[in-house]
Amino acid sequence: MAPGWYRAIAASVLSLHAADITWVIFGAFFTRGRSRLAALTHTKATASKALVHIFSFYRREDLNAPYH
């Protein structure tokens, strides 16, 4: 893969992560009174955090380190 692709992939991951953090911060105000949207948001958050935990998207040297 060309170095330009790595930069593009990194920028897209950073953008998605920033959007996720923004949604976590301001989503409570947006979903107030919208129970179905709140349930969908909780499902999405649970699924994304489970994927991160299952596939261990951590630094390689931390994979065998004990969790503190």
**Per-residue pLDDT, 23:** 81
- Poorest-pLDDT segment among 6-15, 34-43, 52-61: 52-61
Exposure of 43 by Cβ count < 10 A (0-12 exposed, 13-18 middle, 19+ buried)?
exposed
Buried b (16+ CB within 10 A) or exposed e, 6-23: eeeeeeeeeeeeeeeeee
Instruction: Please determine, for residue 67, whether its predicted confidence score (pLDDT) is greater than 70.
Output: no
More confident residue, 31 or 53: 31
Instruction: Please determine, for residue 66, whether its predicted confidence score (pLDDT) is greater than 70.
Output: no
Could you state, in order of their start, the residue ranges of all structural domains in the chain?
3-60
User: For 22-52, how does the pLDDT look when each residue is reduced to its tens digit (9 = 90+)?
Assistant: 887 888 888 888 888 888 888 888 888 787 7
